[in-house]
Amino acid sequence: MRYWVRVVAALAVAGCSGSAPNAERILASNVASDEAPPIVFETQMRSDIEVPACASESQGHAQIKILQDGTIESIVILNNKGDESVRFGHIHHLSAGATTGPIIWWLSSPVGVDLNLTDRHIDIRQTGIFVANPHFSTGAAALAELLANPSAFYVNFHSDICPGGVARGFLP
């Protein structure tokens, strides 16, 4: 019970402060318990919001969990209606005004390898693999920004038919 009071109090303070909570505050408020729930983001992935646009019927759902220690776990379900060969997937970050951004975490492994997944129903469960990039030199900096501004991040997967991305979904 004491743990939940601390979490609710921390969230209330963060909500009243006028700024989004950062990684340190959220993770610090949860350190009191190994039983603390992860932070979870979910998004629907569609081809019509890809850049460049992709004429595919494939779509999906991504769940991104941030655990107490900052580890990112993902579950991505793709409905491969287009019978495409799915290559790989990741989380990107967008700068203000941009339409695409650099890869921040890979959600498929081995990193950079074309997986050639052709099943009609594709289920990928992966721990996010951080890669240094032009936006963030460390995973901690990327995580802090993800927690503070999740809508600046999107999940997408690529295919042979749509190499720029077959399905994209923005985090809420």
d(CA 117, CA 149): 32
pLDDT at 13 over 90: no
Q: How many CB atoms lie within 10 A of CB 1?
A: 5
| Residue 33: predicted pLDDT | 52
Q: Is 119 exposed, middle or buried (0-12, 13-18, 19+ CB in 10 A)?
A: exposed
| Residues 34-72: tens digit of each pLDDT | 678 999 999 999 999 999 988 899 999 999 999 999 999
Answer yes or no: are the C-beta atoms of 66 and 36 closer than 8 Å: no
The Cα–Cα gap between 13 and 161 comes to 47
Per-residue pLDDT tens for 75-117? 999 999 988 999 999 999 999 889 999 999 999 998 989 999 9
Q: Which CA distances in Å does 82 have to 14, 32, 157?
A: 44, 47, 13
Q: 111: number of CA atoms within 13 Å, CB side?
A: 10
Structural domains of the chain, with CATH: 1-37 (no CATH), 38-170 (2.60.40)
What is the pLDDT at residue 12?
A: 34
- Residue 82 confidence (pLDDT): 85
